[in-house]
Structure 1
Amino acid sequence: MKQATRYVNRPLSDDPRDTEAWALTEAARRLVDAARAPENSAALQAALQLNQRLWTIFQAAITEPDCTLPRDLRENIAALSLLVDRQTVARLADLDSTKLDTLIQINRSVAAGLAQKVGGPEARAPEPKRLDMPPPEPLRISI
């Protein structure tokens, strides 16, 4: 049986943005730890696989028909996730812990963006009136 993972910290909030920011930060932390111990290829492989699973979840989420993110944001996430995929596969192939900076920076940058609060209820602009329009077209990603 696989031993349970022990996390350094966990999100205290139930807000999905906080959970996603925490997950990206945790994945970045594990990549940093793996880079600091280049002799431990198992830790590097585990960190890369965790990062890959996380970004696969993001890819799946933006292609769901009920995804409420604007199309341009979904397309940007898709493009970024493809870059993450390429980098991850390259690092899994060569296990070069000196080439993790791109993945670490992407995770940290996206986590920082997610951690920013858009504003409290009183700071929000009023909801625009919705027109009777068909639901947004599902985003299709081809690799």
Structure 2
Amino acid sequence: MSYAANAYAKVSQTALTPREAEAAVLIKAAARLQTIQDNWDAHHTTLNDALGFNRKVWTILSSAATEPDAPLPEEMKTAMARLGAFVFTRTLDAMVEPSADKLTALIRINRELANGLRGNP
């Protein structure tokens, strides 16, 4: 098998569906926040970077989910808009007054949504 064919075979085995990619990014954001929460004294200096990453993830997710042509029912679009607003508010709160406890909701939301995207409600 040629190098190009090997490369294609490898990529085709690891390519993710859009839902799987969204779930993976949510899990990555949750893991970063969890690491900081679990080791607050050692890692809270990286909090703003992790919160910024999470905010970017949610900006993309909530924007895509609430687009007029998004293939979601209206009630799902509304729920994503509300959830996104909560995430943004909690993120800002955690940046202004940092606390390990403020990360719990963000971590849970990311994990629960990732599970739903993977078909594991």
- TM-score by shorter chain over 0.5: yes
Cα distance, 1:41 vs structure 2: 2.8
TM-superposed CA distance for 1:27, in Å, is 0.5
For residue 89 of structure 1, what is the aligned residue in structure 2?
A: 92
After the TM superposition, which of the residue ranges 106-115 and 95-104 deviates more from structure 2?
95-104
3-state DSSP of counterpart to 1:113? helix
Matches of 2:118 and 2:26 in 1, distance apart?
Answer: 11
CA RMSD after TM alignment: 1.5
Count of residues paired in the alignment: 106
Q: Using the aligned pairs only, state the percent identity.
A: 35
CA distance in 1 between partners of 2:53 and 2:45 (Å): 12
Partner of 2:73: 70
Report the counterpart of residue 40 of structure 2 in structure 1. 38
1:57 to 50, 56, 60: 60
User: Which residue is 2:5 aligned to?
Assistant: none
What is the rounded CA distance, in whole Å, between the counterparts of 1:37 and 1:48 in structure 2?
A: 15
**How far did residue 75 of structure 1 move?**
0.7
How big is each residue's C-alpha offset from its partner over 1:82-110, in whole Å with a ceiling of 9 and x where there is no partner? 11111111001112123211111100000
Separation in 1, partners of 2:78, 2:68: 14
Contact 2:66 2:80 in 1 (8 A): no
Give the partner amino acid of 2:107: I
The equivalent of 1:122 in structure 2 is none
Equivalent residue number for residue 7 of structure 2: none
Secondary structure in structure 2 of the residue aligned to 1:51 = helix
Residues 32 and 104 in structure 1, CA contact (< 8 A), matched pair in contact too: yes
Aligned pairs for 1:1-143 (under 5 A) are 12-39=14-41, 40-116=43-119
More helix by share: 2
List runs of 5+ in structure 1 lacking aligned partners: 1-11, 118-143
Mapped partners of 2:74, 2:15: distance in 1: 27
Compute the TM-score of the two structures, normalised by the length of structure 1: 0.69
